[in-house]
Structure 1
Amino acid sequence: MLQPLSEPGVTIVLPPGMRAPAGFAVLQAPFDPWSAAQRASAVWAGAERELATIAALLGKPVQLFGERGPLRQLPDLVGDLLQSLTGKSWVSPFDGTPWDLLQVIAQLGDWRRLIASNRDLGAVYGVARWKRVTVDPLLWDGTGPVRYARRLRSDLDPGARVVAWKSRTAPAVLAELEASGSIAELEDGFIRSVGLGANCIPPLSIIVDRSGVYFDPNAPSDLEAMLECDELPAKWVERASELQTTLVHAGISKYGQGEVTKPVTVSKQRRILVTGQVEDDRSVMSGGANCTNLELIAKARALEPDAWIIYKPHPDVEAGHRKGHVPDADALRYANEIERRAPIAALLNQVDAVHVITSLTGFEALLRGKAVTTHGQPFYAGWGLTRDLGPRNPRRTRRRSLAELVAATLIGYPRCVDPVTRLPCPPEVLVQRIANGQARVASPLILLREWQGKLRLLWQRLSGGRR
């Protein structure tokens, strides 16, 4: 395909073997026909009809050529397209259920926007090999493999961006990347997986943030900008309410679902859940207001002197992989009990309120109508939905409904992959897979990490909490 050397101009699709006329440059295949048609003032094409049809849909002048020259009677390209699409049966690529044409077009549009958003990603850093099986479909740019890198690349195009999982990128490489310009951040999404990332279970949703990252309140993020500045589509808000209902009824949280093994051991007192976190996690380091897990329990007791307080350690800490262990004797100076086994989603249904530093549990508690007190600056604080005792974020001035928060957080911001088909999917598909028990990933590496964590945790308990 050719495009003029000076814009705007005519885009010409040449048959094989024909030389490019003077004044035109050759676009190397594969190329994006939509982008080419949008840039052109007119399109001339022969046997290649795709670009001509797209140009016609965009209202651009089109000239078709046959073997003997320009066609005097042009076919109705748009009409032919519509006729070819009607009278057919369409099914969901995820589960084979019937779809109408508008659903198909909407899904194709979502995939196209995702691919287009990846076009300028010149290199991806910090993604371990075991994560790539699910991350690849979410970073694919429609051409070749995702361009993973470990060292600085000197062959990047001038307009290329890099994306990095910062906590997993070598510090020296990260320092050079940050010094060379802005980088997009890659992180786990909010509905991550069935099982822990510390056990090498790959993520089923991620975020790519070009402004900052949602858990660092020291700088703007794409999610914060969406909540502060954007008018969210009404369809998103409608979907968010339905998604919230599904998540709550299915008992789904960041690391999957499960059932409570025992009820909370109190009936009349106000029940408070205090959730521990990984103390060297970036969200705690950047937005935790220097609050430790033990200090969080103590603050909750000071604010709730007559409540029954349940402390739940973070699962990665309990698995023995991360920092933040609080010896039982210390925790029970302020808490009435320590709950290790109950899944967080089901446990939330048995309490009245939650105290967090920056934990995602606070967001999951909001979904279930619970009162939430924040002692740090999580992404969901500052919008009028929580009691915020941490530092105030001056950039967050807008009041948002819970449905709007859910719409931005679970629909507009993350990227999800279907664990069955490995296709990028709406969050509703991922949630349904988890609810149906179809989202579990297994590998020898996962089994090894689970046993490593158990042995490390056993050593901590035998040694009195020493790491």
Structure 2
Amino acid sequence: MQAGHLTPPSADAALPPIRLPQASLATLPDLQAFFPGTRLLTGASDGTAEAGVLYYAQGPFRSPRLGPRQVPVLLVVASGPDPVGMALAAPPPALDLKRARQVMAAIAAGRIGAPAGLPRQHPASGAARHILLDPCDPARRGAALATLHALQVAGAPVLLMQDPFAEGAPVLPGSLPATDPWCLLDLGLTLHGASRDLALLALAAGVPIADGPLAGADAAATWAALLAATRAADPFRGAPCGIEQGVEILALWCARQAEGRSFAACLGIHPYKRERVRELLASDAPPPAFLGSPGRAVVRAAQRGGALLAWSASAPEDLPARCAAAGVPLHWLEDGFIRSAGLGAAFRAGASFALDQRGPYYDPARESDLARLLATAEFPPALLARARALRQAVVARGVTKYNLGGNVPEIAAPPGRRRILVPGQVEDDASIRHGAGHVRRNLDLLRAVRAAAPDAFILYKPHPDIEAGFRRGRIAGAELAGLADQVLRGVPMAPLFGLVDEVHTITSLTGFEALLRGLPVTCWGTPFYAGWGLTEDRGPPATPPRTRKLTLDEMVAGALILYPRCIDPLTRLPCPPEVLLERMDRPDLFPPGRRARLRAVQGFVTRGIAWLRGWR
């Protein structure tokens, strides 16, 4: 790929322009981030080097295709039309081999650099000990046939495959269709005739290369030379970033693409959420179908040979049995724990999701992916440091699930009296149906807390969906007397945490948000964060029992970093949670949906009826 002409950052002020083909302006608009403050030059090149011009190529750092988009994150830059070749041919004086080995390991672990659209299946290798790559180039056919003959004469069993990076038609009879290069490299067999891009990935993976310019090359030195000519740009912030950060972004995208391409159909996704779910599942495969009928959804998934993704709260009870009978893998989808700036009930699309192949995270009767992760995952020091920083950022920014605004009234508690915050919940919510014990209603929760803490000053905060008139769970004013000392209506959650001493809840996410802020939490049900030694648990035990004791940062690492799938509402690309946290400063990125006005009228009428009946 040729490159364009941009003005580099101040440290690169002496760099010449970069050749950019006209088409790249439309297909790769993020290139400007690699060279901030530069004007772009466009125009075709005749393939020969031009004085004072640099060229770029993605090389082994190909970005995965996410739907119609393929955004570059790392580029190799040099002074000729073949930047990768020039970088490898002219290694810099000082090679950082340790860094190169770390990047190579990350490239291999993230399975980065594969061309889009190739099947991800391991070829049957049988007794083969060598792989001969069909170059798909008539000019190289003779050399490939000579290699094949030599291997056959030597009695070496050979697997004949098309090179995954070749663009032409096969030229060797009997060569198998190309597969994803990492599926090929997983076999660990010696490669013959590998293209340069495949050879570079093979060096990163430690797979032997029999011939070509990189045969016998020192892998770390080769990659160090390549990294010296490589630039990285953060697609979320539109600015240069470190190569390691760029590799992390590509690894995240590759994982999300691999996950997304496995789904053939979606069930029960509300229309206002579908665009965001399409972005969540974007891959190089056809997008999944969105269906409302369980029967049709299962049939469609079976026909396409993929999995079914169902919105957990609206899925029928017999859906697992239907999927099992049809041989269709079933996965579950719910909103994530840092969702949006505004209510989902007001048709604001969320930007984080809980995607689980074992079961909904809120159901303690079966082990979800989240519960399994919390029970078994290793939490290395670097991950815990990241979790600590993320937790501190959540607290500093005052971020909660919905991030609603409003003023906090004065708390009327006498000095020295223990203050307990009781958040109301939607009583027909799936987390209550599955996660509650004998305390299942907001009124029952208040009674239980009053009995457990008769001298405490209890603050009751109705759920915002209930206050808005959208969901069930309202308590009549007369019933609150003697149970709640103060009712907090229309109050944002985050500021309250600094005004109370503890939180009591059934299964509300407010309990988790309170833990992030160091508050004691009592759970009268069994939410995902109960049972790990961080809460006082009065609900039924989970199945299987949660016996591992976690630190707060281990819980944060699992629940906010490793488990959720986040989408940047600005770029619409998969992002780490830190980016989503920054976007919470932009409520305009979470606009109400098309039906929001109708929903608002519904809420107004419901609130009016409640007022007339004396429920407020």
The two structures have a TM-score, normalised by structure 1, of 0.88
From 460, 483, 494, the equivalent of 1:311 is 460
Report the AA paired with residue 176 of structure 1: R
CA 137–190 in structure 1, closer or farther in 2 if over 3 Å, else same: same
Q: Which residue of 1 aligns with 2:580?
A: 430
Per the TM alignment, residue 169 of structure 1 is displaced from its structure 2 partner at its CA by: 4.1
For residues 129-278 of structure 1, what are the structure 2 equivalents within 5 Å? 129-150=271-292, 151=296, 152-153=298-299, 156=302, 160-169=306-315, 176-177=322-323, 180=326, 183-258=330-405, 260-268=407-415, 269-278=417-426
Q: Which residue of 2 aligns with 1:375?
A: 524
2:506 touches 2:526 (CA, 8 Å); kept in 1? yes
Per the TM alignment, residue 110 of structure 1 is displaced from its structure 2 partner at its CA by: 1.7
Q: Which residue of 1 aligns with 2:237?
A: 95
2:232 touches 2:241 (CA, 8 Å); kept in 1? yes
From 500, 503, 508, the equivalent of 1:354 is 503
User: Any idea what the Cα deviations from partners look like across 1:266-294, whole Å, max 9, x if unmatched?
Assistant: 24121111111111111101111142110
For structure 1, which segment, 427-436 or 360-369, has the greater mean C-alpha deviation from structure 2 after superposition? 427-436
Per the TM alignment, residue 36 of structure 1 is displaced from its structure 2 partner at its CA by: 3.1
- How many equivalent pairs are there? 455
1:140 touches 1:146 (CA, 8 Å); kept in 2? no
Q: Which residue of 2 aligns with 1:415?
A: 565
Secondary structure of 1:326's aligned partner: coil
CA 62–143 in structure 1, closer or farther in 2 if over 3 Å, else same: farther
Per the TM alignment, residue 416 of structure 1 is displaced from its structure 2 partner at its CA by: 0.7
CA 51–441 in structure 1, closer or farther in 2 if over 3 Å, else same: farther
For structure 1, which segment, 236-245 or 165-174, has the greater mean C-alpha deviation from structure 2 after superposition? 165-174
**Partner Cα separation in structure 2 for residue 253 and residue 451 of structure 1:** 26
Per the TM alignment, residue 142 of structure 1 is displaced from its structure 2 partner at its CA by: 3.1
**Partner Cα separation in structure 2 for residue 62 and residue 149 of structure 1:** 48
**Partner Cα separation in structure 2 for residue 465 and residue 11 of structure 1:** 77
Report the AA paired with residue 386 of structure 1: T
Q: Which residue of 1 aligns with 2:431?
A: 283
Per the TM alignment, residue 326 of structure 1 is displaced from its structure 2 partner at its CA by: 1.1
1:258 touches 1:346 (CA, 8 Å); kept in 2? no
1:275 touches 1:359 (CA, 8 Å); kept in 2? yes
For structure 1, which segment, 262-271 or 356-365, has the greater mean C-alpha deviation from structure 2 after superposition? 262-271
Per the TM alignment, residue 172 of structure 1 is displaced from its structure 2 partner at its CA by: 7.2
Q: Which residue of 1 aligns with 2:514?
A: 365
Q: Which residue of 2 aligns with 1:26?
A: 177
User: Any idea what the Cα deviations from partners look like across 1:313-364, whole Å, max 9, x if unmatched?
Assistant: 1111222221211112112331112111111111122111111001111111
User: Any idea what the Cα deviations from partners look like across 1:123-147, whole Å, max 9, x if unmatched?
Assistant: 2222223212222232223333244
1:11 touches 1:40 (CA, 8 Å); kept in 2? no
Per the TM alignment, residue 223 of structure 1 is displaced from its structure 2 partner at its CA by: 1.2
1:275 touches 1:314 (CA, 8 Å); kept in 2? yes
Secondary structure of 1:133's aligned partner: helix
**Does 1:115 pair with 2:267?**
no
**Partner Cα separation in structure 1 for residue 568 and residue 456 of structure 2:** 42
Unmatched segments (≥5 aa) in structure 2: 1-117, 137-167
Report the AA paired with residue 187 of structure 1: E
Secondary structure of 1:253's aligned partner: coil
1:263 touches 1:350 (CA, 8 Å); kept in 2? no
Q: Which residue of 2 aligns with 1:458?
A: 608
Unmatched segments (≥5 aa) in structure 1: 65-70
Per the TM alignment, residue 113 of structure 1 is displaced from its structure 2 partner at its CA by: 1.9
**Does 1:345 pair with 2:491?**
no
CA 122–444 in structure 1, closer or farther in 2 if over 3 Å, else same: closer
User: Any idea what the Cα deviations from partners look like across 1:162-207, whole Å, max 9, x if unmatched?
Assistant: 2211323467767623654652111110001111111111111001
**Partner Cα separation in structure 2 for residue 347 and residue 354 of structure 1:** 10
User: Any idea what the Cα deviations from partners look like across 1:227-261, whole Å, max 9, x if unmatched?
Assistant: 11221232221111111111111111001253533
For structure 1, which segment, 335-344 or 78-87, has the greater mean C-alpha deviation from structure 2 after superposition? 78-87
Report the AA paired with residue 95 of structure 1: R
CA 232–386 in structure 1, closer or farther in 2 if over 3 Å, else same: same
- Identity percentage of aligned residues: 38
1:356 touches 1:373 (CA, 8 Å); kept in 2? yes
Q: Which residue of 1 aligns with 2:447?
A: 298
**Partner Cα separation in structure 1 for residue 196 and residue 450 of structure 2:** 70
* Aligned CA-pair RMSD: 2.8
CA 377–97 in structure 1, closer or farther in 2 if over 3 Å, else same: same
**Does 1:10 pair with 2:131?**
yes
CA 123–351 in structure 1, closer or farther in 2 if over 3 Å, else same: same
Secondary structure of 1:217's aligned partner: coil
CA 209–95 in structure 1, closer or farther in 2 if over 3 Å, else same: same
Report the AA paired with residue 223 of structure 1: L
Bigger RCO (CA 8 Å, 6+ sep): 1
**Partner Cα separation in structure 1 for residue 332 and residue 306 of structure 2:** 14
Report the AA paired with residue 377 of structure 1: T
Per the TM alignment, residue 437 of structure 1 is displaced from its structure 2 partner at its CA by: 4.6
